[in-house]
Structure 1
Amino acid sequence: MNNTPRVYAMIVAAGRGSRFGASVPKQYLPLNGQTLLQHSVARLAGSAYIQDCLLIIAADDTRPQNLDFALPVWYALGGAERWQSVYAGLDAIIKKGGAGDDLILIHDAARPAVPSRDIDHVIEAAKLEQYGAILATPVADTLKQSQYQPHTQSKTESKPIGKNNANSHDYVERTIDRNGLWQAQTPQVFRIDQLHRVLTHVAEHKLHITDEASAFEHLGLPIRLVTGSRQNIKLTYPDDAILLSAILMAQSSAL
């Protein structure tokens, strides 16, 4: 196992951000003077392990070419699903000369506040692993499992919250033990050959995965958890922009 591999960085920015509900994909949302994508590239630039960055974009997306980035960037076209975008980027990196034992770092464009020290920590952990490592935080909140129950609304009741169907409610079924539960973040860092192996498995078996580490889980391959900062939140809903703006401002003031 090569403990001094080259690190290839990739940011997945091919999504449409449908849950966010903005008129532009959320990676191009302006926040504190720059787009989320520019902020995320700048965070990767803060790591001595990273010299350039591959941006995975949609086929009809020309916005990045009009932006200034803190690193040299190059491009590959994404697919319909996240894993397909990563697979396309992986292929581009291999064609560029990425060796099987090198590392590929995958980051979300919508996580612009990841501390650079966390990027270094997860890379250094992955260098010691056969498969890879990801940033994550232990779950701190109490978790509730819900059960869905139909509900007939009377004229005097306010509309229920949470379901599109106005005649339905969610109710607490049970509390889930949070011991041993983690919230996955990015960057996630893997050996190139191993990532290619597991994503090929995903493609062949038509599996649904929510992140790259999930592909390794399907094959029972261990991925190391590296504790990351709780500042590394993902912009998913409009309220997240308020928090991220404050975090970025606080981080800037601390420099």
Structure 2
Amino acid sequence: MNTNSQVHAMIVAAGRGSRFGASVPKQYSILKGQTLLQLSVARLASSAYINDCLLVIAADDEIARTLDFALPIHYVFGGEERWQSVQAGLESIINVGANEADLVLIHDAARPAVSYIDIDNVIEAAMYEPYGAILATPVADTLKQAKQVKSTSISSPSFNDNAHIYAERTIDRTHMWQAQTPQVFRVGQLQRVLAYIAKNNLSITDEASAFEHLNLPIRLVNGSRQNIKLTYPDDATLLAAILNGQE
């Protein structure tokens, strides 16, 4: 266990949250009198491993700097894609003196219900790993692979541009896990895999998938199912209930 590794916290808040459908980015939605971004920073502030936080924001963000946070905050502008925002944040962390063996903790701005215990658990797991660790949960629901079929002459409601979605087959969920954040990686290793993604013009959905492209093992740490991400408007009601129940 490398307990000498410093932990550098980063929250990616440069996205627009198009699926959420609000007039402001979803990280600025209000729950319990604060924005999701403020609540997420406050969760990270609970960890003794974290002393400050880098916020990766959009270049035209006019809200973040007007807010009060539970940690000292630094800012950097993000890119068009999530991985580009993470890369910009990582470069900033390295420029202020992070070592290759240090850990960078990356959290979603829209996950304000991550448990305090899970934050420390994933950090401590990453300390034992050469590459990193992420919070995740085993998939519990039945998974269906879907296919889209154009509507026929039979009159029936259509909900997706004259196409219907049908179940094609059931996916074996035995080894399926749903990724969450925080995701925690060695600074030098993350820098290398993101450079590989950029050089090869690859697409990734989270930082762990960058390591997967190079067959580098990232440990899965079983987290709480309450650590949901605000993605759609209906999620706000559930998140509010979770936060109230955690008090």
Interval containing the TM-score (normalised by the shorter chain):
over 0.9
Q: Which residues of 2 match residues 134-153 of structure 1 at below 5 A?
A: 134-152=134-152
For 1:48 and 1:183, the matched residues in 2 are separated by: 27
Shift of 1:3: 3.8
Question: Is residue 4–residue 127 contact of structure 1 (8 Å, CA) maintained in 2?
Answer: no
Write out aligned runs for 1:177-216 (5 A). 177-216=172-211
Moved more, 141-150 or 199-208: 141-150
Does residue 1:38 correspond to 2:38, yes or no? yes
Please state how far the C-alpha of 1:153 moved relative to its aligned partner: 5.5
Distance in 1 separating the partners of 2:226 and 2:91 = 32
For 1:46 and 1:2, locate their aligned partners in 2 and report how far apart those are by CA, in whole Å.
21
Residues 1:229 and 2:227 are matched in the alignment: no
Are 2:7 and 1:7 aligned? Answer: yes
How many Å separate the matches in 2 of 1:220 and 1:134? 16
Q: Deviations over 1:198-233 (max 9, x none)?
A: 000000000000000000000000000000000000
Equivalent residue letter for 1:177? D
Aligned to 1:69: 69
**Deviation, structure 1 residue 154:** 4.5
Distance in 2 between residues matched to 1:68 and 1:154, nearest whole Å: 57
Give aligned pairs, total. Answer: 247
Secondary structure at 1:170 match in 2: strand
Aligned partners of 1:116 and 1:160: how far apart in 2?
Answer: 44
Sequence identity (%): 69
Structure 2 matches for 1:104-115, cutoff 5 A?
A: 104-115=104-115
CA offsets 1:169-224 (integer angstroms, 9 cap, x no match)? 11111111100100000000000000000000000000000000000000000000
Q: Which residue of 2 aligns with 1:126?
A: 126
Residues 1:86 and 2:86 are matched in the alignment: yes
Letter in 2 for 1:160: S
Q: What amino acid sits opposite 1:194 in the alignment? A: Q
2:243 corresponds to = 248
Return the alpha-carbon distance in structure 1 between the equivalents of residues 70 and 145 of structure 2: 43
Give the SS at the match of 1:210: coil
Distance 1:108 1:199 in 2: 18
Distance across 2 between alignment mates of 1:133 and 1:153: 51
Report the Cα distance in structure 2 between the residues aligned to 1:78 and 1:242, rounded to whole angstroms.
29
Q: CA offsets, 1:23-67, max 9 Å, x none?
A: 000000011110000000000001110000000000111211111
- Compute the RMSD of aligned alpha carbons: 1.1
Q: Is the 8 A contact 2:151 2:158 kept in 1?
A: no
Cα deviations by residue, 1:81-130 (Å, 9 ceiling, x for unpaired): 00000000000000111000000000000101000110000000000000
- Is residue 216 of structure 2 the alignment partner of residue 218 of structure 1? no
How far apart in 2 are the matches of 1:168 and 1:81?
A: 29
Query: 2:147–2:166: 8 Å Cα contact kept in structure 1?
Result: yes
CA contact 1:3–1:128 (8 Å) conserved in 2? no
Q: Which residue of 2 aligns with 1:96?
A: 96
8 A Cα contact 2:158 2:164, kept in partner: yes
Instruction: State the 4+ residue runs in structure 1 displaced beyond 3 angstroms.
Output: none
Cα displacement (A) at 1:2: 3.6
TM-score by length of structure 2 reads 0.98
Separation (CA, whole Å) in 2 of partners of 1:218 and 1:148: 28
Which segments of 5 or more consecutive residues in structure 1 lack a partner in the other structure?
none
Pairwise CA distance, 1:152: 2.4
Hey, what's the Cα distance between the residues in 2 that align with 1:62 and 1:172?
44
